[in-house]
Amino acid sequence: TDLPLPPLSKLLILPGYAYSSESCIKFRQLSIENNWDIIVYHEQTYELLRLGGKLQPITKNPDKHFLCSPLGNTFEESNSTTQFRILNVFNSRPKWSVKETLRTMNTTIKIVTFHNPPYTIVTNRTHFTGIEIKLIRMIVNDIPHVFKILYDKGLPSLSPSMTPHKTVSEELMKPHGGSDVGLSSLWLRLYRHDVTHSHSQQCNTFIVKKPTLYSENTFMFQALRLEIWILVGIVFLTELFLLHKFQKRETVSSFNSEPKMLIAIRTLAASSILKIPSQKYPIQRFILIQWIAFCLLMATCYNAGLTTSLRFPLLTSDIRNFDDMVKYKINWFDETDGVKNYLKSINDTITRSLVKLYHSEVNKTLRNSKLQGNNYGFRACCLPGGYVTNLEGIEANILENFRIIPKCIFNNHIAIGLRKNLPIKSVFNQKITRLIQHGLVDHLYREFSLRKRSDVMAKLSSSDPMKLHETLDLNKMTASFLLLFLSMCIASMIFIRECYLKRKKI
């Protein structure tokens, strides 16, 4: 029986996996040699069916040759207005897989990409790797394919305004001699291309410094804050005033020949039992009482303050969101002005303030030196699991002191770009879904984050509970303790020597 041709949105007649007139001639030759009448491509299931039967035109004077139709929703031949219907269709004929179709047509998938770590890491035109390179090789491992590597520079066909991402986009749009698959990791606007399922989501945010000890070198003296030194100064000035008053009343001439503090120490040391001098010696009595009380007060204050510092150390600013960045004026770097220009388009107080904090620094050495301070961060791209990219030129030891702000400026869905109406889209989607379910994408993230190159990928956390034993420098702490202990020993030796000399004189 005669079967009417289904709507073109569901059923297309096409010359296999072909784009050019040469491949159409090749397919026509194959159809004659194998006695094939028609090949039907189902757009919904993305399968090629080899059907028997004949093609009978409904209108008069049809093109008697084999119909070559491009991949699309219309027939673009000399008789494109001719309607057809299929006669004597035998659905028992076997289906063609994409692999069999490409092998029969002797067609190779062309994949275009460029150096874009960690998705594509290009050493030269023959040696390249990366997350998306490994993904695409897992997907097309049984399909003929070839890579075309673009470089950021040295492309004579590109104008200075063309970026590598735009170049990949143009490659997928070429009607002849273009590429079939594009790897560029960023596909924000996809109206001109087809894309696969997103294999990841990229969050654009900022990386800022973790809270650290306010001053590692003076941690032992954090308890001696400014207000304590003010009190010490007031006590010292009061002491000088009282000494001046006592000195006017004192008539003993010997007190004028030697420092009064030394006389007070010797008087105390000369006593058989350490005791405060009698009222006959008002200056020594006052000095010793004030000295002992002051030492006890400072020792108690320092011990209490040191205990407090050990439990609640003084830390730098804890930056957790964009508001904190604006509050503490955290400047940030970026490779280009793209994110800054995007923030300018947002009418918001915080985003306008973030734009003012943007700094452009081309010198990587100078950028690393600034990042070691507490008031600088940088814009980075974060993947699920705390993996961070866009780290080119940043030293690994600097990254250890940074963390992620858990909020995104905007998100990118990372997918593989395809030529429009490519019939292998379903194959890519099925394999990508399978790779994600089996955890192979996360495995690639871990693999590239463990590499030594800092510009590939690193794993950071967005919330780090502050642990003092992880932030203290034990060498500096030990040195501070030894310095204090040595000072105490020297003071004790001087005191013992004064005691010995005074007793010897007596």
Per residue in 392-447, pLDDT (tens digit) is 778 777 888 888 888 888 888 888 888 877 767 878 888 888 888 888 888 888 88
CA atoms of 421 and 17, how far apart (whole Å): 11
- Judge if pTM exceeds 0.75: no
Beta bridge partners of residue 111, listed in sequence order: 147, 181
How does DSSP assign 59-80, residue by residue? SSS---SPPP--SSSS--STTT
pLDDT in tens, 18-71: 334 444 455 455 555 555 444 444 433 334 443 333 333 333 333 333 344 333
First to last CA, the chain: 138
CA atoms of 39 and 341, how far apart (whole Å): 51
**How many other CB atoms are there within 10 angstroms of residue 175's CB atom?**
8
Contact 263, 285 (CB under 8 A): no
The whole-number pLDDT of residue 427 equals: 81
Q: What are phi and psi of 181, to 5 degrees?
A: -130, 135
Beta bridge partners of residue 96, listed in sequence order: 48
Ranges of beta strands (E only) in 52-187 are 54-57, 84-87, 95-96, 109-114, 121-122, 128-129, 145-150, 181-183
The whole-number pLDDT of residue 301 equals: 62
The whole-number pLDDT of residue 215 equals: 58
CA atoms of 27 and 17, how far apart (whole Å): 9
**Residue bearing tokens 């997928």:** 172
Q: What are phi and psi of 382, to 5 degrees?
A: -110, 135
> What stretches in the chain show pLDDT beneath 70?
1-106, 151-162, 185-191, 213-229, 232-233, 235-237, 239-314, 423, 452-455, 462-506
Which residues have CB under 8 Å from 147's CB, separation 6+?
Answer: 111, 112, 113, 128
